[in-house]
Structure 1
Amino acid sequence: MKLFFRKQRQDIDIVKKPWWREYGEALLVAAILAIIIRTFVIQAFKIPSGSMEDTLLIGDHLLVNKFIYGIQVPFADERYFAIRGPKRGDVIVFEFPRDAYKPWLQRRDFIKRVIGLPGDVIEIRDKKVYVNGKLYQIPQEVHKEEGIVGPQYGPRDNMKPVRVPPGHYFVMGDNRDRSYDSRFWGFVPKEKILGLAFIKYWSWDSERHLPRWSRIGQPIE
C-alpha cells in the first residue's frame, strides 16, 4: 500500500508599511534614544560667561559625561553604577543649589572646578586657597585684578575656614577674581551634580565671528 503525501505551498504576503509610518517610527526611536543619551550618558553645554577663563572661554561648547558619577534616576537623589566620585580638580556641571528654593525660576546650570571634597577644610588668605591647612594652587587658576579687596566685597579674597559637609563639594571658577562660586553661596550637594566636563567639541568667537579652531576637540583639564 502506497501512501501519497501532497505538500501544500502556503504563500505569505508581505505587507509593506506606508512611508509615513516607517519614517514616523524611525523618528520616534531616534527621539527616545536621544532622550536616554541626554539623560543618562552625555549632554552638550555652552559656556555663557567668563568665570572659567582661561580654561573655558565664552562661546566654548563642551560635552559632559553624565554617567561617570553614577546614573541618577529622575526625581530621586540616588545614583547607581558610579565609576567614581568627584575628585579635586574635576570640572563639573551642576544645578545651581539656590534655585531649589525658587521653583518659579528656570533652573540654571553652573560650571566650576571642584576644590573641596566632603570633610575638607577650605580657607582663603589674600587670594590663596588652603585645603586642610596646605596651600592649594593649580596652573589653571588666574587672577585678572590686582590688589586685595576688603570684607565689604564679600569673601572673594579672604574667607575664614569652612568645613565641607558630608555629601557636598566646594567649587570655584578658574577666573578667581570674576567667579560667583562657593565662596559666596555655599556648597554643591552631590545630587545636584550633572556630570564631568571632558571635551570642547566646538568654539565660537562672537567678537571676530570666527571659530576657534585650536580649541575644538581639546580635552578639559
Structure 2
Amino acid sequence: MQWKFNRKSKNDQSNSPKKSALREWGDAILFALIVSTLVRGLLFSAYAIPSGSMEGTLLTGDYLFVSKISYGPRMPFTPVSIPFLEPTITSHQIKTYWDGIKLPYFRLPGLSEVKKGDIVVFNKPEEADPSYNKPVDERTALIKRCQATPGDKLTIVNAQVYINGKAAPNAEKAQTSYKVVTDGADINPQLLHNLHVEVLQQFNEQTYIMIIPQDGLAAFKSYSNIKQVSPVVEPAGMYDANVFPHNAKFKWNEDNYGPLVLPKRGMTIVLNEANLILYRRAIELYENNKVQLKGTEVFINGKKANTYTFKMNYYWMMGDNRHNSLDSRFWGYVPEDHIVGKAMITCMSLDSTESLLNKVRWNRILKPIH
C-alpha cells in the first residue's frame, strides 16, 4: 500500500508573501504598545513626585512604581485615550482623551483593601466639581498617606490625628512648621540645605516660619544663633474657610479638626442640617444624585428623603509634610472610585537643586516605600 501526504512544495512556500522590514517593525511596536498598556493598566504604573507634600517620606523628584493590583485594577472610565500622555498637553490644554464614551465604575479584585498608613495614589476629588469637567480617571493624580478608612471617626487635636479615639502613629519622617527666633544673625543657607529646612515666611530679621524635618530638629536647635524653636499650631475653635466643609458652623482648621465619620458603603445617615453640610458633596458629586433643600426638607432626585445610604467607601488622605500639603483637610474624603493604587518602591530620584554630577539620589533607588 502506498501512502500519500498532502504537503506544500518548496515552490508553494516561496510564493507566500513575506513581511517587509517596515511591517515587522510595525508589528513589534504594536505588540509592545499593547503589552505595556495592559501592564500599565492592570499591574503597575510609574508616577513622579512633583511637590513637597510628602517630604521627607517621599522627596520632590522621586519616581515611583505604583501597584494597581494591590487594591484591584480600576477599569477606565474613558477608554478612548492616547496612552502614556497626561490628560491635557501644551499650553492650550489639548485633551489626549475622548469623553464621548464614559463607562461606569468597575474594579477587578485586588490583593487587599486600602489600609491606614498606606501611601496611596488617587485622583484629586476637588476636580469632581462641574467647573473642571473632567472624567474621574483624567483628574490630577495625587499621592498621600491614608489616615482613616470607611466608618472611622477622625479627629485632629493640636496637629495629632486620632482615629476612633486613639492617636494615630505619625510617619517616621513627618514634617511640620516651627516658629524660629534667632539672635538677628544671618542663617547659613548651606545649613538649611543640609538639614532640608524650608523657610516659609520671614517676619523680620529675627523671626521666621520654617518647615523642619524631625531628624534634623535637634541639630538645628544646637546652633548658637537659634534662640527659640516652637511648633506652629492653629488653636482650636479658630475657623479656617479653606478647610472642608467650608462652613462656619464647623469651626475647624488644619490642626484642630472634626470629629468626622468617614462614609462607608451601606452606612445610613439621617439627613439633618449638619449631616447635609458634611456629606452633601459625597451624595451629590461622587454618587451622582440631585440634592435639593426646600426649607428644612431634603429632596434627593425629586423625592423627599429623611435618610441616605452610601453606595461607596471613602478614605481620608493627608500628606506627611502637614503644613505644606493640600489634602483631605481642604477638599474632604476620597471616594473609592478615585483610588488608583499603592506606592511600592522608588525606582529613581533626582534632586533639581544639585549640580549635574550630584543630581541622582543613589540611596533612594529601588527603596521600598513605607
User: Which among 84, 89, 97 is matched to residue 117 of structure 2?
Assistant: 89
- Segment drifting more, 147-156 vs 202-211: 147-156
- Aligned CA distance change for structure 1 residues 26 and 160 (closer, same or farther; 3 Å): same
Alignment of 1:1-221 (within 5 A): 10-11=9-10, 12-14=12-14, 15-75=17-77, 76-101=104-129, 102-103=132-133, 107-138=139-170, 139-145=172-178, 146-150=231-235, 151-153=238-240, 154=243, 155-166=253-264, 167-209=313-355, 210-221=359-370
Once residues 4 and 57 of structure 2 are traced to their aligned partners in structure 1, the CA distance between those partners, rounded to angstroms, is 79
Deviation at 1:41, TM superposition (A): 1.1
The DSSP-based 3-state class of the residue aligned with 1:87 is coil
- Structure 1's 157 and 37: CA in aligned 2 closer, same or farther, altered over 3 A? same
CA distance in 2, matches of 1:152, 1:133: 22
Aligned residues: 219
Contact 2:64 2:346 in 1 (8 A): yes
**1:136-162, Cα deviation, whole Å (9 max, x unpaired):** 122242223322124354421110200
Q: Residue 22 and residue 177 in structure 1: after superposition, are their counterparts in 2 closer, same or farther (change >3 A)?
A: same
Q: Contact 2:128/2:134 (CA < 8 Å) preserved in 1?
A: no
Query: Would the alpha carbon gap of residues 19 and 178 (structure 1) be closer, same or farther in structure 2, given more than 3 Å must change?
Result: same
CA contact (8 A) 2:56 2:173 kept: yes
Decide whether aligned partners of structure 1 residues 152 and 18 sit closer, same or farther in structure 2, where only a CA change above 3 A counts. same
Q: Give the aligned CA root-mean-square deviation in angstroms.
A: 2.0
Residue ranges of structure 1 left out of the alignment (5+ in a row): none
Structure 2 vs 1, CA of residues 4 and 142 (structure 1 numbering), >3 Å: closer, same or farther?
closer
* In structure 2, distance between residues paired with 1:213 and 1:65: 22
**Residue type of the partner of 1:165?**
P
Deviates more, 1:15-24 or 1:162-171: 15-24
Q: 1:104: how far off?
A: 5.7
Deviation, 1:4, is 6.8
Residues 5, 144 of structure 1: alpha-carbon distance in 2 compared, 3 angstrom cutoff = closer
Give distance in 1, aligned partners of 2:321 and 2:4: 86
The structure 1 segments of at least 4 consecutive aligned residues displaced by more than 3 Å after TM superposition are 3-9
Cα deviations by residue, 1:3-22 (Å, 9 ceiling, x for unpaired): 77788873341543111110
